[in-house]
Amino acid sequence: MEFSFQLYSARNFLPWDAVLKRIAELGYTQVEGFGGVFEDAGSFRALLDENSLSMPTAHLSIDQLESNFGHVERVADTLGIRSIFCPYLDAADRPTDEAGWVSFAHRLSAINERVRAIGRTFGWHNHDFEFVAMADGSIPQQTILDAAPDIDWEADIAWIIRGGGDPMDWIERHGTRITAVHVKDIAPEGECADEDGWADVGHGTVDWHALIAALKAKTNTSFYVMEHDNPNDFDRFASRSIAALRKQQEA
Protein backbone atom coordinates (compact mmCIF):
# COMPACT_ATOMS: atom_id res chain seq x y z
CA MET A 1 0.00 0.00 0.00
CA GLU A 2 1.03 3.54 -0.75
CA PHE A 3 0.01 6.06 1.89
CA SER A 4 -1.19 9.58 1.24
CA PHE A 5 -1.31 12.49 3.69
CA GLN A 6 -4.14 15.03 3.89
CA LEU A 7 -2.35 18.36 4.03
CA TYR A 8 -5.13 19.89 6.13
CA SER A 9 -3.56 17.93 9.00
CA ALA A 10 -0.44 20.12 8.76
CA ARG A 11 -2.06 23.50 8.12
CA ASN A 12 -0.89 24.84 11.50
CA PHE A 13 2.72 23.73 11.07
CA LEU A 14 3.94 25.67 8.03
CA PRO A 15 6.00 26.47 5.98
CA TRP A 16 4.93 23.97 3.36
CA ASP A 17 8.44 23.26 2.14
CA ALA A 18 9.40 21.90 5.56
CA VAL A 19 6.13 19.98 5.89
CA LEU A 20 6.51 18.28 2.51
CA LYS A 21 10.15 17.44 3.17
CA ARG A 22 9.22 15.72 6.43
CA ILE A 23 6.25 13.86 4.89
CA ALA A 24 8.54 12.44 2.20
CA GLU A 25 11.21 11.50 4.76
CA LEU A 26 8.64 9.46 6.65
CA GLY A 27 7.80 7.42 3.56
CA TYR A 28 4.60 8.99 2.27
CA THR A 29 4.53 9.11 -1.53
CA GLN A 30 1.29 11.07 -2.00
CA VAL A 31 -0.53 14.02 -0.51
CA GLU A 32 -4.13 15.18 -0.72
CA GLY A 33 -4.62 18.88 -1.32
CA PHE A 34 -7.17 21.27 0.14
CA GLY A 35 -8.09 24.88 -0.53
CA GLY A 36 -5.17 26.36 1.38
CA VAL A 37 -2.56 25.07 -1.09
CA PHE A 38 -4.17 26.07 -4.37
CA GLU A 39 -3.45 29.80 -4.45
CA ASP A 40 -0.14 29.33 -6.26
CA ALA A 41 -0.46 25.87 -7.76
CA GLY A 42 2.69 26.22 -9.86
CA SER A 43 4.91 26.93 -6.87
CA PHE A 44 3.31 24.15 -4.89
CA ARG A 45 3.87 21.71 -7.76
CA ALA A 46 7.56 22.61 -7.67
CA LEU A 47 7.68 21.75 -3.95
CA LEU A 48 5.99 18.41 -4.62
CA ASP A 49 8.46 17.59 -7.37
CA GLU A 50 11.42 18.51 -5.14
CA ASN A 51 10.25 15.92 -2.64
CA SER A 52 9.14 13.24 -5.14
CA LEU A 53 5.54 13.55 -3.98
CA SER A 54 2.37 13.45 -6.07
CA MET A 55 -1.12 14.83 -5.44
CA PRO A 56 -3.54 12.35 -7.02
CA THR A 57 -6.52 13.51 -4.94
CA ALA A 58 -7.78 16.86 -3.70
CA HIS A 59 -10.63 18.55 -1.87
CA LEU A 60 -12.32 21.44 -3.64
CA SER A 61 -15.34 23.30 -2.32
CA ILE A 62 -18.75 23.11 -3.91
CA ASP A 63 -18.62 26.89 -4.44
CA GLN A 64 -15.48 26.60 -6.57
CA LEU A 65 -16.77 23.55 -8.39
CA GLU A 66 -20.01 25.28 -9.33
CA SER A 67 -18.91 28.87 -9.86
CA ASN A 68 -15.22 28.80 -10.79
CA PHE A 69 -14.70 25.58 -12.69
CA GLY A 70 -11.97 27.10 -14.85
CA HIS A 71 -9.85 27.55 -11.72
CA VAL A 72 -10.55 23.94 -10.70
CA GLU A 73 -9.39 22.67 -14.09
CA ARG A 74 -6.21 24.77 -14.00
CA VAL A 75 -5.36 23.55 -10.50
CA ALA A 76 -5.96 19.92 -11.48
CA ASP A 77 -3.80 20.26 -14.59
CA THR A 78 -0.95 21.95 -12.72
CA LEU A 79 -0.86 19.62 -9.74
CA GLY A 80 -1.68 16.38 -11.54
CA ILE A 81 -4.88 15.77 -9.59
CA ARG A 82 -6.81 12.73 -10.84
CA SER A 83 -9.68 12.53 -8.35
CA ILE A 84 -11.58 15.53 -6.99
CA PHE A 85 -13.72 15.27 -3.87
CA CYS A 86 -16.21 17.80 -2.58
CA PRO A 87 -15.46 17.79 1.14
CA TYR A 88 -18.11 19.60 3.14
CA LEU A 89 -21.35 21.51 3.36
CA ASP A 90 -21.70 24.31 5.91
CA ALA A 91 -24.36 23.74 8.54
CA ALA A 92 -26.47 26.64 7.29
CA ASP A 93 -26.53 25.13 3.79
CA ARG A 94 -27.47 21.57 4.76
CA PRO A 95 -30.91 20.31 3.70
CA THR A 96 -33.35 19.35 6.43
CA ASP A 97 -35.28 16.56 4.67
CA GLU A 98 -34.85 13.83 2.09
CA ALA A 99 -36.11 15.98 -0.78
CA GLY A 100 -33.48 18.58 -0.01
CA TRP A 101 -30.71 16.00 -0.01
CA VAL A 102 -31.97 14.58 -3.30
CA SER A 103 -31.69 18.07 -4.78
CA PHE A 104 -28.18 18.42 -3.38
CA ALA A 105 -27.21 15.04 -4.83
CA HIS A 106 -28.37 16.22 -8.24
CA ARG A 107 -26.00 19.18 -7.90
CA LEU A 108 -23.18 16.72 -7.24
CA SER A 109 -24.17 14.72 -10.33
CA ALA A 110 -23.99 17.88 -12.45
CA ILE A 111 -20.51 18.60 -11.11
CA ASN A 112 -19.53 15.01 -11.79
CA GLU A 113 -20.38 15.39 -15.46
CA ARG A 114 -18.12 18.43 -15.76
CA VAL A 115 -15.25 16.81 -13.87
CA ARG A 116 -15.38 13.60 -15.87
CA ALA A 117 -15.46 15.65 -19.08
CA ILE A 118 -11.96 16.91 -18.23
CA GLY A 119 -10.68 13.40 -17.58
CA ARG A 120 -10.96 13.26 -13.80
CA THR A 121 -13.18 11.42 -11.36
CA PHE A 122 -15.42 13.09 -8.79
CA GLY A 123 -16.98 12.16 -5.48
CA TRP A 124 -18.28 13.22 -2.11
CA HIS A 125 -16.30 13.15 1.15
CA ASN A 126 -18.38 12.61 4.27
CA HIS A 127 -18.34 14.00 7.78
CA ASP A 128 -20.64 12.89 10.61
CA PHE A 129 -23.81 14.81 9.76
CA GLU A 130 -24.59 12.63 6.75
CA PHE A 131 -25.25 9.67 9.07
CA VAL A 132 -27.70 11.42 11.40
CA ALA A 133 -31.31 10.62 10.50
CA MET A 134 -33.57 13.44 9.32
CA ALA A 135 -36.97 13.97 10.92
CA ASP A 136 -38.46 11.98 8.02
CA GLY A 137 -36.19 9.04 8.83
CA SER A 138 -33.91 9.40 5.82
CA ILE A 139 -30.11 9.18 6.15
CA PRO A 140 -28.38 11.88 4.05
CA GLN A 141 -25.45 9.68 3.00
CA GLN A 142 -27.81 7.02 1.73
CA THR A 143 -29.81 9.63 -0.13
CA ILE A 144 -26.68 11.04 -1.75
CA LEU A 145 -25.54 7.61 -2.93
CA ASP A 146 -29.00 6.71 -4.23
CA ALA A 147 -29.78 10.01 -5.94
CA ALA A 148 -26.29 10.49 -7.43
CA PRO A 149 -25.42 6.92 -8.51
CA ASP A 150 -22.65 8.11 -10.81
CA ILE A 151 -20.40 9.76 -8.21
CA ASP A 152 -17.61 8.21 -6.14
CA TRP A 153 -17.32 8.25 -2.37
CA GLU A 154 -14.27 9.12 -0.29
CA ALA A 155 -15.22 7.40 2.97
CA ASP A 156 -13.99 9.11 6.12
CA ILE A 157 -14.28 6.12 8.43
CA ALA A 158 -13.84 7.92 11.75
CA TRP A 159 -16.53 10.46 10.86
CA ILE A 160 -18.90 7.60 9.97
CA ILE A 161 -18.38 6.25 13.49
CA ARG A 162 -18.85 9.66 15.09
CA GLY A 163 -22.08 10.04 13.14
CA GLY A 164 -23.40 6.82 14.64
CA GLY A 165 -22.84 4.65 11.58
CA ASP A 166 -21.24 1.22 11.32
CA PRO A 167 -18.41 1.50 8.77
CA MET A 168 -18.38 -2.24 8.12
CA ASP A 169 -22.05 -2.11 7.14
CA TRP A 170 -21.48 0.81 4.77
CA ILE A 171 -18.44 -0.91 3.26
CA GLU A 172 -20.44 -4.08 2.76
CA ARG A 173 -23.38 -2.32 1.09
CA HIS A 174 -21.61 0.41 -0.86
CA GLY A 175 -18.01 -0.71 -1.21
CA THR A 176 -18.02 -0.41 -4.98
CA ARG A 177 -18.62 3.33 -4.63
CA ILE A 178 -15.63 3.86 -2.33
CA THR A 179 -12.53 4.89 -4.28
CA ALA A 180 -10.60 6.66 -1.50
CA VAL A 181 -10.53 6.46 2.29
CA HIS A 182 -9.55 8.79 5.08
CA VAL A 183 -7.53 6.85 7.61
CA LYS A 184 -8.21 8.56 10.93
CA ASP A 185 -8.51 7.41 14.54
CA ILE A 186 -10.66 8.29 17.54
CA ALA A 187 -9.18 8.68 21.01
CA PRO A 188 -10.62 6.77 23.97
CA GLU A 189 -13.35 8.61 25.85
CA GLY A 190 -11.94 11.56 27.76
CA GLU A 191 -8.53 11.54 26.06
CA CYS A 192 -6.97 14.00 23.58
CA ALA A 193 -9.53 16.71 24.35
CA ASP A 194 -7.02 19.31 23.13
CA GLU A 195 -7.04 17.52 19.76
CA ASP A 196 -10.84 17.38 19.44
CA GLY A 197 -10.84 13.75 20.55
CA TRP A 198 -8.86 12.46 17.56
CA ALA A 199 -5.89 10.11 17.92
CA ASP A 200 -2.88 9.10 15.87
CA VAL A 201 -3.78 6.20 13.59
CA GLY A 202 -3.25 2.92 15.40
CA HIS A 203 -3.34 4.60 18.79
CA GLY A 204 -7.09 5.03 19.16
CA THR A 205 -10.26 2.97 19.23
CA VAL A 206 -10.83 2.34 15.51
CA ASP A 207 -10.09 -1.23 14.41
CA TRP A 208 -7.97 -0.38 11.40
CA HIS A 209 -6.68 -3.94 11.06
CA ALA A 210 -10.16 -5.25 10.28
CA LEU A 211 -11.13 -2.18 8.29
CA ILE A 212 -8.13 -2.31 5.96
CA ALA A 213 -8.89 -5.96 5.24
CA ALA A 214 -12.52 -5.13 4.47
CA LEU A 215 -11.60 -2.15 2.32
CA LYS A 216 -9.19 -4.25 0.28
CA ALA A 217 -11.75 -7.00 -0.18
CA LYS A 218 -14.94 -5.02 -0.75
CA THR A 219 -14.07 -1.64 -2.27
CA ASN A 220 -12.38 0.02 -5.22
CA THR A 221 -10.17 2.08 -2.93
CA SER A 222 -7.00 3.33 -4.56
CA PHE A 223 -6.03 5.97 -1.99
CA TYR A 224 -5.48 5.61 1.75
CA VAL A 225 -5.21 9.15 3.09
CA MET A 226 -3.90 9.69 6.61
CA GLU A 227 -5.67 12.51 8.43
CA HIS A 228 -5.97 14.14 11.84
CA ASP A 229 -8.26 17.17 11.97
CA ASN A 230 -6.44 18.97 14.78
CA PRO A 231 -3.10 17.48 15.86
CA ASN A 232 -1.03 19.43 18.36
CA ASP A 233 2.09 17.85 16.87
CA PHE A 234 2.02 17.21 13.13
CA ASP A 235 5.31 15.28 13.09
CA ARG A 236 4.15 12.96 15.88
CA PHE A 237 0.90 12.22 14.08
CA ALA A 238 2.50 11.68 10.68
CA SER A 239 5.29 9.45 11.97
CA ARG A 240 3.33 7.32 14.44
CA SER A 241 0.46 6.78 12.00
CA ILE A 242 2.51 5.49 9.09
CA ALA A 243 4.60 3.36 11.46
CA ALA A 244 1.45 1.76 12.91
CA LEU A 245 0.03 0.85 9.52
CA ARG A 246 3.35 -0.49 8.26
CA LYS A 247 3.59 -2.70 11.35
CA GLN A 248 0.06 -3.90 10.72
CA GLN A 249 0.93 -4.83 7.14
CA GLU A 250 3.91 -6.84 8.32
CA ALA A 251 1.91 -8.76 10.92
The segments of the chain whose pLDDT lies below 50 read none
pLDDT for res 237: 98
**What's the pLDDT at 41?**
97
**Rounded to whole angstroms, how far apart are CA atoms 140 and 242?**
32
Predicted local confidence at residue 250, as pLDDT: 80
- What pLDDT, on a 0 to 100 scale, did the predictor assign at position 249? 80
CATH of 3-250, one of 3.20.20.150, 1.20.1430.10, 3.40.50.300, 3.40.30.10: 3.20.20.150
**Residue 184's closest CA among 32, 17, 47?**
32
- The residue ranges of every structural domain in the chain are 3-250
Task: Please tell me the predicted confidence (pLDDT) of residue 103.
Answer: 98
pLDDT value at residue 123: 98
Question: pLDDT value at position 146?
Answer: 98
Q: Are 16 and 39 in contact (CB under 8 A)?
A: no
Looking at residue 141, what is its pLDDT? 98
pLDDT of residue 248: 84
pTM of the complete model: 0.97
Report how far Cα 44 is from the mean position of its chain's Cα atoms: 20
Do residues 142 and 148 make contact, with C-beta atoms less than 8 angstroms apart? no
